[in-house]
Structure 1
Amino acid sequence: MGRRARTAAIVMVVALLSGCASSQASRAPRAASTPSATSTPVTAPSAPDATEDPVVAVPPAFTSAISPITPELAARMEPSWRPGCPVPLEDLRYVTVTHRGFDGVDRQGELVVHADAAEAMVTVFHALFDAGYPVRSMRLVDDFGASDDDSMAADNTSAFNCRAITGGSEWSEHAYGRAIDLNPVENPYVRGSSVAPDEGRAYADRPDSPGVIHAGDEVVRAFASVGWLWGGDWESPIDYQHFSSSGR
């Protein structure tokens, strides 16, 4: 082989070897990339702001309303009012008030009273509601056919009823809308050994039980604040359920 031929062969071999090395390098695995030192780290959620206002329980609200006797209400009151009663319908008012039940649930009660007693009753029952005094039921006596006995037996608090006094012929203060009977079972009418309603016998000796009225308690004070007097102060009969503007 001549010198030129040998030189060309050597050049060819070197080129082939260089190509193989380049090919091997291209097939080598690449190193894994390292996260940049400037990456934003993941952080845990921040704790609640300790300066947030605490949750405050809203006290139950007392509501009331006073309205005239509408034709619809007059129809409902047919058992308790009739022509010849000592007060006309236009002088009466329908009163609704919030009261606390014996089960702790607040309810809207209803009364019919004389117009000049309406605001006083709202004042009284607002005070009793604030004091937590329970009222079993407060419905118009007409829901019991205007029967005083049936209303008392149901422990119903009521006011207006065009009727005579118990055991007499004169108009009761209820017939003027200026008297109220409150929780009659817990606060019965007592004359000697006679107790009305009969369900109230267990309360005739005035136990310290919910709804029972005692001399000088928050109930007596609430009615006294509007000038109403308590039948529990009478000597005989003793009418623990009864409050009136005249004291009769």
Structure 2
Amino acid sequence: MRRSLSALVCAILLATPAPVSASPVASAYVIRPGDTLSSIAKRYRVALSDLRAWNGIARGEPLRVDGLLRLTAPETPLPAWSTRVLTVTAAEANGDPAKKCPVPASDLRKIWVRYLGFDGLAHDGYVIMHHTVAGAIQRAFGRLYRWRFPIMAMPPMVVEDRTVLTLGYECRFVAGTTRWSQHSYGLAIDINPRQNPMLRGDYLDPPNSRTWLAREHYWPGMMHEDGAVPAFTVEGFYWGGRWKTLLDYMHFSTNDR
């Protein structure tokens, strides 16, 4: 699946934080703590009923912090959420057999999910994870879709910069060690790395994500403890944003490593 050039431009614009003093984006709004649908409608001079209809929000349904709220009418409503689980081939799992990855392809699953893109549209993508967490991953992405939390990019989307990809399984060591990463077991997932970077001392990953270390802001794709984070933590995942020796805002794992 290839995203169109116009959609990618839209994603980049939404992903680039505006200065605090700048006017908010006119077509979308990231829900902050304390927001109500009526206060947002008043602020942007739109009818409350339109705001509900454009975003599929039922009367009385609470807003979810970190969700991306439409401020204009969509061409078509978001389709229903969907998901499916497929087996994984050895080539998809390990690529080079010489790497001797720690789990066989038979233990992994390709989990397809529908997600909300930074362009405000629905897309289908997948993550590869261990079969024991497939159901939990499906439920977590189902919540993110209902909460209108945006994902910048997932495979099979073709991108020039892999640091924008939400990924699960990767056969690799922990950076700077010869110890297998939890990603190598299919037991960890990184969500929107650009918007949720990892910081260890002076080491920043991805290196072009320093702007998003300002975690007091609520910009598209950022995950906060009072917002999108519980989509995974209620399923038994631990969040790297709670770590002490380093901060890894993108990272969720089953064993807090």
1:69 to 40, 64, 88: 88
Cα deviation, residue 194, structure 1:
2.3
Within the alignment, does 1:151 sit opposite 2:162 as a pair?
yes
Cα deviation, residue 76, structure 1:
4.2
2:151 to 126, 135, 143: 135
Superposition pairs for residues 185-200 of structure 1, below 5 Å?
A: 185-200=194-209
Q: Which amino acid aligns with 1:216?
A: D
Q: Secondary structure at the match of 2:178?
A: coil
Q: Secondary structure at the match of 1:137?
A: coil
2:132 maps to what in 1? 116
Cα distance in 2 for partners of 1:199, 1:80 equals 29
Q: Is the 8 A contact 1:112 1:140 kept in 2?
A: no
Q: Secondary structure at the match of 2:119?
A: coil
Paired residues, number: 182
Report the structure number with the largest CA radius of gyration. 1
2:239 maps to what in 1? 230
Residue 133 to residue 85, structure 1, CA distance change in 2 (3 Å): same
> Which runs of structure 1 show a deviation greater than 6 angstroms over 4 or more consecutive aligned residues?
none
Cα deviation, residue 140, structure 1:
6.1
Residue 92 to residue 82, structure 1, CA distance change in 2 (3 Å): farther
Cα distance in 1 for partners of 2:141, 2:84 equals 12
Cα distance in 1 for partners of 2:150, 2:91 equals 30
2:107 maps to what in 1? 91
1:175 maps to what in 2? 184
Superposition pairs for residues 2-81 of structure 1, below 5 Å?
A: 60-70=79-89, 74-79=90-95
Percent of residue pairs bearing the same amino acid type: 35
Cα deviation, residue 60, structure 1:
2.4
Q: Which amino acid aligns with 1:188?
A: P
Q: Is the 8 A contact 1:96 1:108 kept in 2?
A: yes
1:38 maps to what in 2? none
Cα distance in 2 for partners of 1:59, 1:109 equals 16
Cα deviation, residue 178, structure 1:
0.5
* CA offsets 1:22-79 (integer angstroms, 9 cap, x no match): xxxxxxxxxxxxxxxxxxxxxxxxxxxxxxxxxx996520000001114xxx334454
Cα deviation, residue 247, structure 1:
1.0
Cα distance in 1 for partners of 2:114, 2:106 equals 24
Cα distance in 1 for partners of 2:97, 2:83 equals 24
Residue 231 to residue 140, structure 1, CA distance change in 2 (3 Å): farther
2:42 maps to what in 1? none
Q: Secondary structure at the match of 2:196?
A: coil
1:213 to 203, 223, 247: 223
TM-score using structure 2 length? 0.65
